[in-house]
Amino acid sequence: MPVTVHDGRLDILARNKLAAELLPPVDRTGPFARNLAYQAFATPALTDLLGHAAEQFLRVAAAELRTALGRYPEDGYLRGLRAELAANSATFRDYWDRGEVITSRSATKQLHHPTYGRVGFDIELLHDPERDHWVMLYTPRDEA
């Protein structure tokens, strides 16, 4: 089962071998390279992988960043990330202006993987509130 761990600032902290095979590599440098919201709006890799479901992913990425800024309003990293995305991504600005926050912690995703083809997953997010870490479990769906 692919598994990723990210923190409350949306930075990827770890992923297992299956997640590394399934998801695009973190191949950019810079202070936001490991950030999910940054990857959503600054690189095409995740949106390409999601295909027609990319719109929902972008909505969630902007909403998650808004939620993180609500938890950590004085965090310079998050404020810098928001400023960077706002300055360089019209798509981010469009989603940000919606003012959405996120409360859902499960989803179903269809990925269009270049090696594995079309694969489906049920996604569950588990939260450790003490450390504000999130574990994302990708349970493969039986599409038969």
**What gap in Å lies between CA 60 and CA 66, rounded to an integer?**
10
Neighbours of 10 (CB within 10 A): 22
Assigned architecture for domain 3-140 = 2-Layer Sandwich (3.30)
pLDDT at residue 144 is higher than 60: no
Q: What is the pLDDT of residues 46-75, one digit of tens each?
A: 888 888 778 888 999 999 999 999 999 999
* Residue 27: band (very low, low, confident or very high) from pLDDT cuts 50, 70, 90: low
Give the model's pLDDT for residue 114. 79
pTM summary value: 0.86
Q: What is the pLDDT of residues 73-130, one digit of tens each?
A: 999 999 999 999 999 999 999 999 999 987 667 778 777 787 778 888 899 999 999 9
**Mean pLDDT, the chain, integer:** 89
